[in-house]
């Protein structure tokens, strides 16, 4: 059976069209060894096919609507690198109407481009070689105007359709994403229970990732961030090589990739199991902000209004704590909160951790819709080094807050009734965290 996503894509494209969607290429890691292969997200979304060297061709008005070009079976290659579906498997297991060896693509391209009035192909998304191949073929067909050839007059980027489809998840995708969220949440709980002063950041990283793999995830959905103390104030800290010190906080931002879908969780907790007063001040403010934003999620709420809400809560809180001085309204106008809250409130989540799809239409922020999955992840980051804070040298930042970085991140599904928190299995309430760590 065709994937429902492919059926829907065919419904949305121009009928007299051909769509050409290439798979991801293998990527060299060093010399002659590759990174673990990951399929192109759009290709995976439409076909579920996870091998490299493949191209999907979709022609909705023709009898054979779905063609796959794939690596042919090859015993010698399969002994070294594993099983291939081959042209037979592409038809039998991936519902292609027909399949050909990948090396036949060039020869068949002229035929495929002759007739359809619209070509769906995303220039700049695949490789320059693939782009050139399409351009050369189109050019040669245009030049041959004394032959009865009809190359497509219109070229459309298929991601304009695909990425909009990917914004709204169907029931099956939600079920997979719930599992991705559960695995990551359970891993975070294990990490919280094991952390103690003297451990290394990379040990925590290893523990999380072992849990992911042990529970069926293909691995992490992005490089884990395990930042102790001041490292938590570096937004994309991934070296994870320092020691965990008594009295510091640990920020853990890690998610699992399960059946091709991502989860993305951040928790921040005290390395010795007890929050200090200064850590509490910051933590409680970020948590209040995060929960209030989650409460606000419902169909129709504009994504930018959620961000504005987070800015208001954090700015007012920072004034109360003495991190910012002045009138909150004016501080917001002047974007002074960006000294300590410099990223967005969240992002779509799906096959990509920062998932595809538009956030604005005609310059207007998009309203949330049932079926969207997104993260809600406010944070405050007060570098231990005031020279790294814009204006920091000129400001009296209460010393007790220097070196504290807190982010709290959950994944939420927008439902009719509001947000369903997919990552609810890992605690974020301060007392709950302390009780868990005391066990």
Q: What beta strand segments (E) does 328-431 contain?
A: 360-361, 364-365, 373-376, 379-382, 404-407, 410-415, 418-421
Whether the Cβ atoms of residue 142 and residue 119 lie closer than 8 Å to each other: no
Q: What is the DSSP letter of 21?
A: E
SS3 10: helix
Quick one: 352 or 409, whose CB is closer to Mn ion? 409
Give residues 409-428 in contact with ligand GLY (rule: CB under 6 A): 409
User: What is d(CA 51, CA 25) in angstroms, rounded to the nearest whole number?
Assistant: 9
Quick one: 105 or 348, whose CB is closer to Mn ion? 348
Task: Report which residue's Cβ sits closest to ligand GLY.
Answer: 253
Q: What beta strand segments (E) does 8-51 contain?
A: 17-22, 28-30, 33-34
Quick one: 53 or 409, whose CB is closer to ligand GLY? 409
Give residues 330-359 in contact with ligand GLY (rule: CB under 6 A): 347, 353
Q: How many CB atoms lie within 10 A of CB 288?
A: 14
> Which residues are designated catalytic?
32, 236, 253, 264, 343, 347, 354, 377, 381, 407, 409
Residue 264 interacting with ligand GLY (CB under 6 A): yes
Q: How many residues belong to the site for Mn ion (CB under 5 A)?
A: 5
Phi, psi angles (nearest 5°) of residue 98: -150, 160
Quick one: 13 or 249, whose CB is closer to Mn ion? 249
359 binds, among Mn ion, ligand GLY, none (CB under 5 to 8 A by kind): none
- Two structure tokens written together for 66: 């779905």
Residue 42 interacting with ligand GLY (CB under 6 A): no
Pairing between β-strand 33-34 and β-strand 28-30 as defined by DSSP bridges: antiparallel
Q: Which residues contact 250 (CB under 8 A, 6 or more apart)?
A: 195, 201, 204, 226, 227, 228, 232, 244, 268, 269, 270, 271
- Two structure tokens written together for 402: 């220097």
Residue 182 interacting with Mn ion (CB under 5 A): no
Site string for Mn ion, 356-385 (x = CB under 5 A): -------------------x----------
H helix or E strand, kind and range, residue 79: helix 75-81
Q: Which residues contact 109 (CB under 8 A, 6 or more apart)?
A: 133, 134, 137
User: What is d(CA 312, CA 331) in angstroms, rounded to the nearest whole number?
Assistant: 10
51 binds, among Mn ion, ligand GLY, none (CB under 5 to 8 A by kind): none
Q: How many residues belong to the site for ligand GLY (CB under 6 A)?
A: 7
309 binds, among ligand GLY, Mn ion, none (CB under 5 to 8 A by kind): none
Give residues 205-224 in contact with ligand GLY (rule: CB under 6 A): 222
Site string for Mn ion, 390-409 (x = CB under 5 A): -------------------x
Member of 173, 201, 248, 264 binding Mn ion (CB under 5 A): 264
222 binds, among Mn ion, ligand GLY, none (CB under 5 to 8 A by kind): ligand GLY
Q: What is the DSSP letter of 40?
A: -
Q: What is the DSSP letter of 348?
A: B
Smallest distance from the beta carbon of 242 to ligand GLY, in angstroms?
A: 19
Smallest distance from the beta carbon of 201 to ligand GLY, in angstroms?
A: 16
Smallest distance from the beta carbon of 331 to ligand GLY, in angstroms?
A: 25
Site string for Mn ion, 220-259 (x = CB under 5 A): ---------------------------------x------
Phi, psi angles (nearest 5°) of residue 100: -135, 155
Smallest distance from the beta carbon of 129 to Mn ion, in angstroms?
A: 33
Q: In 3D, which of 327, 302, 298 has the Cα closest to residue 312?
A: 327
Which residues are at the interface with ligand GLY (CB under 6 A)? Answer: 222, 253, 264, 347, 353, 377, 409
Which residues are at the interface with Mn ion (CB under 5 A)? Answer: 253, 264, 266, 375, 409
């Amino acid at each position: 059976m065709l994937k429902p996503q492919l059926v829907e894509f065919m419904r949305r494209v121009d009928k007299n069209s051909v769509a050409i969607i290439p798979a991801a290429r293998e990527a060299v890691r060093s010399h002659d060894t590759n990174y673990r292969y990951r399929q192109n997200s759009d290709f995976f979304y439409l076909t579920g096919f996870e091998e490299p060297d493949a191209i999907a061709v979709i022609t909705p008005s023709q009898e054979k609507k779905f063609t796959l070009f794939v690596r042919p079976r090859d015993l010698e290659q399969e002994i070294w690198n594993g099983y291939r579906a081959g042209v037979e498997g592409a038809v039998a297991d991936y519902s292609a109407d027909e399949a050909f060896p990948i090396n036949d693509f060039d020869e068949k391209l002229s035929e495929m481009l002759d007739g359809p009035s619209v070509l769906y192909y995303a220039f700049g998304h695949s490789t320059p070689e693939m782009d050139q191949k399409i351009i050369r073929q189109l050019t040669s067909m245009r030049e041959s105007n004394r032959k009865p050839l009809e190359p497509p007059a219109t070229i459309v980027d298929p991601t304009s359709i695909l990425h909009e489809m990917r914004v709204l998840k169907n029931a099956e995708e939600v079920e997979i994403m719930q599992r991705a969220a559960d695995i990551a949440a359970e891993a975070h709980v294990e990490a919280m229970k094991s952390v103690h002063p003297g451990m290394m950041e990379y040990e925590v990283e290893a523990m999380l990732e072992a849990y992911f793999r042990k529970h069926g995830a293909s691995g992490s959905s992005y490089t884990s961030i395990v930042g102790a103390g001041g490292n938590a104030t570096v937004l994309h800290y991934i070296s994870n090589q320092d020691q965990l010190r008594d009295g510091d906080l640990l920020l853990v931002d890690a998610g699992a990739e399960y059946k091709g879908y991502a989860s993305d969780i951040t928790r921040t907790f005290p390395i010795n199991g007890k929050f200090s007063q200064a850590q509490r001040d910051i933590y409680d403010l970020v948590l209040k902000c995060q929960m209030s934003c989650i409460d606000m999620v419902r169909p129709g709420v504009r994504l930018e209004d959620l961000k504005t809400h987070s800015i208001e809560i954090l700015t007012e809180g920072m004034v109360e704590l003495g991190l910012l001085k002045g009138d909150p309204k004016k501080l917001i106008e002047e974007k002074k909160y960006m000294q300590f809250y410099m990223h967005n409130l969240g992002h779509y989540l799906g096959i990509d951790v920062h998932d595809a799809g538009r956030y604005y239409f005609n310059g207007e922020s998009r309203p949330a819709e049932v079926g969207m999955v997104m993260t809600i992840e406010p944070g405050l980051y007060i570098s231990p080094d005031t020279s790294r804070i814009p204006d920091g040298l000129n400001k009296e930042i209460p010393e007790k807050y220097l070196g504290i970085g807190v982010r709290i991140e959950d994944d939420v599904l927008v439902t009719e009734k509001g947000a369903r928190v997919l990552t609810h299995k890992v605690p974020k309430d301060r007392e709950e965290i302390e009780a868990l760590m005391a066990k």
